Amino acid sequence: MISTKDYTALPNKETLQTICKAISVLDAIISQEWEYRYYSYNNKWTDNEEFCEMRNGSGDQMLILFRLDGCVINGFAHEFVQQEKQKLTKNLPSIFDEFIFSEPVKTIGTTFCLWTTEQQNWQVGQIENYDDNSEEMLNIFDGNPQTYIDWATEYFEESYIESGIPLNTVTKIYNGQTLTKEMVLSIVEELEDWEQLENDLNEIGYPYNFN
């Protein structure tokens, strides 16, 4: 299990980015209503930055910033004690300061923080209490498509086809294969708004061909 106590299993920035896009694509297919999604991705957060967000609708959030020179993860679990942020972010590279100490992270809060740069593997600051819900939030990044299926099967209940979310299709999306109508319709019986999905895919930066 991945957590702030054992984060060596976190994938590198590029692989993490691929996973974030994949799970955001899957959420966009299963739930066309944005407010009910868990994961979303914006490939044009700023000119040179991309952004992934997890929110569970109950107050927990995880915000991930991707830069050309690194990545930072900010997690907030509303039922867990927030430790001193200066300690959690000790030795945080200055390239992440604006993201971590400004909005929206500033208002949301921080219960854990991890980062990586071109020069270093994943790092954490000074942690005094590992009871931060990081395992619950970070485990989705183990790179196993079945992990997403197990989670989404419970979270989205009956929003997918009766036979269940197909591992074959999820694996293709995890591998970044161009999304087709056939792939979409192997997950859901029908899609209400294909134009909406195209807009979502453009925002995520994921290839598709619905012709």
**pLDDT, tens digit, for every residue of 105-130?**
999 999 999 999 987 899 999 998 88
Average pLDDT, integer, range 21-49 = 94
| Residue range 159-175, pLDDT digits in tens | 899 999 999 999 999 99
Query: Exposed, middle or buried, 49 (CB in 10 Å: 0-12/13-18/19+)?
Result: middle
Query: Torsions phi, psi of 17, nearest 5?
Result: -60, -40
Residue with the bigger pLDDT between 78 and 40: it is: 40
Would you place residue 196 in the very low, low, confident or very high pLDDT band (cuts 50, 70, 90)? very high
Cα distance between residue 63 and residue 177, in whole Å: 25
pTM of this structure: 0.95
Continuous segment of H or E residues that includes residue 22? helix 13-30
Is-cis flag, bond preceding 145, omega within 30?
A: no
pLDDT at 156 over 90: yes
3-state secondary structure of 153: helix
Q: What is the DSSP letter of 76?
A: E
